[in-house]
Amino acid sequence: MKAQEELTLELIYIIRIFAMLINAGINIRKSLAIIADKPQSPYTDAMKSISEKVDSNQTLSTAMQAHPDLFPPVLVIMVRAGEVGGLLDETMRYVADLLEEGWKFAQLSGSHEHFNSLFMHRQHEKPETWDAMPEEQRLFLSMMFFRSFGWLLSSGVPILQAMEVSGEMLPRAQQAAWMEMREGIREGGRLSLVAFQPAFAQTMAAIGEETGSLDRMMLMLADTYHHLLEVLLWKGLRRS
């Protein structure tokens, strides 16, 4: 577990530094070279390889995809969304924030299982459905799902692409339902959060659609789940 935690913190560090360099106007290739120069990191060789591939005109997301043990699929998809939307620096900052938030909650709860299934190595299989999950894992998932969806929409990412990326946060059954909804929207339908979200979330989505503030409503839902999760975890700590 210690090695896993160290890898998580290293990934957060790399993404945070990369976002800072890109935001400062340093191009991707030079930023990769600077990060690859960090000694004694499991990411050093991977960053050198990625830098070479970007030099050969591969996209950053494609180059990262060749190292699935270090860069989880959700991260690669979000980097691709940032590349398409021209928001790579903002995307990297957001991913670092998301990783930190998830890691802190995992530390607080004492359970890293679901955090690992979302953000770490491929050997952590996604759960089939969240129906059998403990309440804290469902709250954690909902927080991450709404945070990702709302942020992508607010950053100007088209709704179909935002749904594809945010759907990666969900267990297989809920992801399939979300992707089916996505196909309906492609054909002109309206967004619905389907049966796996409660009535208050459905209401917020409907308000967001009617008022053109869907991104803001989704981020508000993420904040709500954040606070609900905090309360639940602190209750558990007080009982222990």
pLDDT tens over the chain, length 240 residues: 446 667 777 888 888 888 889 888 898 888 888 887 765 577 888 888 898 899 888 999 899 988 888 887 777 877 887 787 677 888 888 778 877 777 777 776 666 665 665 565 444 566 788 887 778 778 888 888 888 888 888 888 888 988 888 887 788 899 998 999 898 888 877 777 666 788 888 889 888 988 989 999 999 998 998 888 878 776 654 555
- The answer on 7 and 94 residing in a single domain is yes
- Residue that terminates a domain, selected from 103, 134, 166: 103
- The answer on 92 and 136 residing in a single domain is no
Q: How many domains does the chain have?
A: 2
Structural domain includes residue 49: yes
- The answer on 231 and 132 residing in a single domain is yes
Give me the CATH number covering residue 173: 1.20.81.30
- The answer on 204 and 146 residing in a single domain is yes
Nearest to 193 by CA among 163, 154, 160: 163
- The answer on 221 and 130 residing in a single domain is yes
State which residues form the domain around 97. Answer: 2-103
- The answer on 91 and 130 residing in a single domain is no
Instruction: Give buried/exposed letters for 107-145 (b at 16+ CB in 10 A, else e).
Output: eebebbebbbbbbbeeebeebeebeebeebbbbbbbbbb
- CA dist., res. 33 & res. 105, Å (int): 32
- CA dist., res. 132 & res. 188, Å (int): 33
- The answer on 85 and 143 residing in a single domain is no
- The answer on 137 and 192 residing in a single domain is yes
- The answer on 216 and 154 residing in a single domain is yes
- Residue that terminates a domain, selected from 71, 103, 135: 103
- The answer on 85 and 167 residing in a single domain is no
Structural domain includes residue 110: no
- Residue that terminates a domain, selected from 52, 71, 103: 103
State the pLDDT at residue 239. Answer: 53
Provide the whole-model pTM: 0.72
Residue type, 15: I
Cβ count near 231 (within 10 Å) = 11
Are the beta carbons of 140 and 114 closer than 8 angstroms? Answer: yes
State the pLDDT at residue 5. Answer: 65
